[in-house]
Homo-oligomer: A and B are copies of this chain.
Amino acid sequence: MKSSATAQEVARLAQVSQSAVSRTFTPGASVSEQTRAKVLSAAAALGYRPNAMARSLITRQSRIVALVMSYLENQFYPLVIQDLSQKLQKQGYHVLMFISDLDEADEVMAEILQYQVDGIVLASTMLSPSLANSCAASGIPIVQFNRVADTSAKARYGTNAVTSDNRRGGALVAELLLARGFERIAFIAGLERSSTSLERESGFAGALAKAGTQVYRRAVGHYSFDGAKAATRTLFSGTGEPPDALFVANDHMAIAAMDVLRNELQLRVPEDVSVVGFDDVPQAAWGAYQLTTVVQSVERMVNATVELLHGQMLGNAPPRYVVVPCELVLRKSVRPPADPPDTARA
């Protein structure tokens, strides 16, 4: 049989009305313990499960959240998928994945709307103004995750967003590097027009300026591994002293940079060049490197997102622009201490 049993059939077997069946599967409905038992046993016998499609047709709630992402190369994003979908599952929601090639987000949006999703999470994807409108019109809560389309102050009213405190994070990096006495501090940007890269750089450059100095050299890595490798080669080639410190707009690129520094340029990290990243990627990503990074906690960001979505989907909570704090953390390398443990010697 292609389809499972219907409420109708369960009702017949249990000798009750279809309404009784429905109520049994509706938390907090008023059913006597007796009929409830009858229904449950009949349902078990037939392998009955309420049809979510039919249900959402009438309740106008699909309990589906669309997650739009453009690329998963950056290890930060798989973490987001995992955490977000697990947390939503716990709240009874499910994640419908959409991979969009950055600019075709509009096309994807049309498909999303067909599924009557209860909410949309846009990660690493920008929404065209026209689409933003069509979403607002449809009344589906939409949360921008990590990256926002418009950083202007007014955009903070009327749109939902969860980002980390990128400016502050950038400033923290500058303060750290200055305190450690570095003098030739370079920067590798991500996508030039992305809010994450812009804000991190602005906080960074601002703090340097406040200290009476500025970025020594700058290149663009486009948030890609290869882009960051090329950028690193550029920064450390040419005439003049090479940088003694490097701030990279995210960890994914920072790892690429460290690969080039250590393996192509024969520089030691952090002895010859101090590298600082941003984001939060699993250890499998930075592996053997010592990486100082501004951590924006996936967990806190996802929590904020779920809370935001939940509030908007149920009540009529006003849109919010949540900025999660971030902090500088030293990811320890697995490089052994001066005196390696005995077990390491055969």
Q: Is A179 an interface residue (CB 8 A)?
A: no
Question: Which residue on chain B has the smallest CB distance to residue A282?
Answer: B73
Q: Is A64 an interface residue (CB 8 A)?
A: yes
Q: Is A116 an interface residue (CB 8 A)?
A: yes
**Are B95 and A284 neighbours in the complex by a CB distance under 8 Å?**
no
Q: Is A1 an interface residue (CB 8 A)?
A: yes
Q: Is A32 an interface residue (CB 8 A)?
A: no
**Are A113 and B49 neighbours in the complex by a CB distance under 8 Å?**
yes
**Given A78-B78, A99-B85, is A288 in contact with B263 using a C-beta cutoff of 8 Å?**
yes
Q: Is A287 an interface residue (CB 8 A)?
A: yes
Q: Which of A14-22, A33-41, A302-310, A338-346 contacts B (4 or more CB under 8 A)?
A: A338-346
CA distance A262 to B340 in the complex (A): 13
Q: Is A213 an interface residue (CB 8 A)?
A: no
Please give, as numbers and ranges, the residues of chain B lying within 8 Å of A139 by CB-CB distance. Answer: 1-3
Flag A194-208 by CB within 8 Å of B: 1 or 0 each: 000000000000000
Chain A to chain B contacts (Cβ below 8 Å), 7 pairs? A47-B134, A51-B57, A72-B79, A85-B97, A229-B334, A238-B346, A264-B335
CB-CB nearest 10 A-B residue pairs? A72-B78, A259-B288, A52-B114, A78-B78, A263-B288, A95-B97, A2-B139, A225-B284, A263-B335, A237-B343
